[in-house]
């Protein structure tokens, strides 16, 4: 089945928008923890699972030959060479606490390795705000009908930077210690709880830069494409102890930001 990035993007936007409405309806009906995963604070709700199941069925109907990689269910292989990478609710803790900053994230990629795969299309929907971020390879990035582009901060010292913390307490402490070594060299830090939206916000110029180590492919697959197509400098090839560092920064500060993160031992 031919893979036209703009057609793949239209499919991703259609499915992510419907999945977002389902997740929002479930949120309004009340949400409980269904289980915990890597730690007591790494929670999954029934809505995470049901929204992923919905997305999976829609994708299998539209593109039966494609592979699937999702946060909440077993991966499946395909014959087309394309893989759909899905986070049904990115920012699950925000979703649990009814903080309106969680998103449905859908990307389609060629290749298996997150450091080198070629993302063809990606969509991140924040249903609480009715915001749809989207990008196709070489096609630029948008927020709704608006084309978005990364910011042009004057200096790193006046840049607004976001980051995130993992579900393991000892790792969180080490991440916080690294953040202490960053915060004095930037305008301020933000920790908003959803990597996919943090990456999109760099693409939209709402943030000047973002970093997080320990992300899973579904947390960043779509957001990384959206940030890159909006002109941000994005990287996801640094893996240490099995934990991947994902960064996105406005071009004007990208080299300095990367150097700061190295000095901080991120
Ligand atoms: C979350 C990320 C967030 C990170 C959390 C978690 P989830 O994804 O969006 O940036 O700090 O540790 O990985 O678990 O809500 O899909």
What does the buried/exposed string (b/e) look like for 132-143 if buried means 16 or more CB atoms within 10 Å of the residue's CB? Answer: bbbbbbeeebbb
For residue 54, with 0-12 CB atoms within 10 Å meaning exposed, 13-18 middle and 19 or more buried, which class applies?
Answer: middle
Is-above-0.95 flag for pTM?
yes
The rounded distance, in Å, linking the Cα atoms of 241 and 121 is: 29
* Ligand 1 mutation pick, 219, 220, 244, 248, max ligand atoms within 8 A of CB: 219
* Confidence category of residue 88, pLDDT binned at 50, 70, 90: very high
Q: What's the rounded Cα separation, in Å, for the pair 103 and 118?
A: 22
Q: Is 153 in the pocket of ligand 1 (CB under 6 A)?
A: no
Residue 43's SS3 state is strand
Beta carbon of 212 within 6 Å of any ligand 1 atom: yes
Determine the angle formed by the axes of helices 217-229 and 195-203, rounding to 10 degrees. Answer: 10
With a cut of 70, say whether residue 156 has pLDDT above it: yes
Is residue 117 within 6 Å of ligand 1 at its C-beta? no
115 within 8 A of 124, measured Cβ to Cβ: no
Please indicate whether residue 119, judged by its CB atom, sits closer than 6 Å to ligand 1. no
CA 248, CA 18: separation in Å to the nearest integer?
28
pLDDT in tens, 195-232: 999 999 999 999 999 999 999 999 999 999 999 999 99
What is the tens place of the pLDDT at every residue in 113-132? 888 899 999 999 999 999 99
Handedness of CA 257, 258, 262, 266 (dihedral sign): positive
- Ligand 1 in contact with 54 (CB < 6 A)? no
Q: Are 237 and 116 in contact (CB under 8 A)?
A: yes
pLDDT class of 112 with cuts at 50, 70, 90: confident
Q: Is 165 in the pocket of ligand 1 (CB under 6 A)?
A: yes
Q: Residue 28 has what pLDDT?
A: 96
Distance from Cα 97 to the centre of ligand 1, integer Å: 14
Give distance in angstroms: CA of 120 to centre of ligand 1. Answer: 23
SS3 assignment, position 3: coil
Index of the ligand 1 atom closest to the CA of residue 102: 15
Q: Give the per-residue pLDDT at 120.
A: 98
- For ligand 1, atom 10: residue with the closest CA: 195
Handedness of CA 226, 232, 238, 244 (dihedral sign): negative
Residue 210 CB-half CA count within 13 A = 37
Taking the C-alpha atoms of residue 119 and residue 89, their distance in angstroms, rounded to an integer, is 20
Tell me which residue has its CA closest to atom 11 in ligand 1. Answer: 164
147 vs 23, 82, 204, CA distance in Å?
26, 26, 9
Which pLDDT tens digit goes with each residue over 18-29? 999 999 999 999
Helix, coil or strand: residue 146: strand
């Amino acid at each position: 089945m031919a893979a036209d990035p703009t057609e793949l993007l239209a499919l991703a936007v259609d499915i992510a928008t419907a999945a977002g409405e389902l997740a929002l309806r479930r949120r309004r009906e009340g949400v409980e923890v269904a289980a915990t995963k890597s730690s007591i604070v790494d929670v999954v709700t029934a809505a995470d699972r049901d929204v992923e199941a919905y997305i999976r069925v829609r994708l299998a109907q539209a593109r039966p030959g494609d592979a699937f990689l999702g946060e909440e269910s077993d991966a499946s292989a395909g014959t087309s060479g394309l893989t759909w990478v899905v986070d049904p609710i990115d920012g699950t803790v925000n979703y649990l606490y009814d903080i309106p900053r969680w998103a449905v994230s859908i990307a389609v990629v060629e290749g298996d390795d997150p450091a080198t795969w070629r993302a063809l299309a990606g969509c991140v929907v924040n249903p609480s705000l009715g915001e749809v971020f989207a990008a196709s390879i070489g096609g630029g990035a948008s927020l709704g009908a608006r084309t978005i582009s990364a910011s042009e901060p004057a200096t790193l010292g006046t840049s607004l930077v976001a980051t995130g913390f993992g579900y393991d307490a000892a790792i969180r402490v080490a991440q916080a210690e690294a953040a202490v070594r960053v915060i004095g060299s930037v305008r301020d830090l933000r920790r908003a709880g959803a990597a996919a939206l943090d990456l999109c916000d760099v693409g939209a110029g709402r943030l000047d830069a973002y970093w997080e180590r320990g992300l899973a492919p579904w947390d960043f697959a779509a957001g990384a494409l959206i940030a890159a197509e909006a002109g941000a400098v994005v990287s996801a090839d640094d893996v240490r102890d099995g934990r991947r560092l994902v960064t996105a920064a406005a071009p004007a500060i990208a080299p300095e930001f990367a150097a700061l993160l190295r000095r901080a031992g991120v």
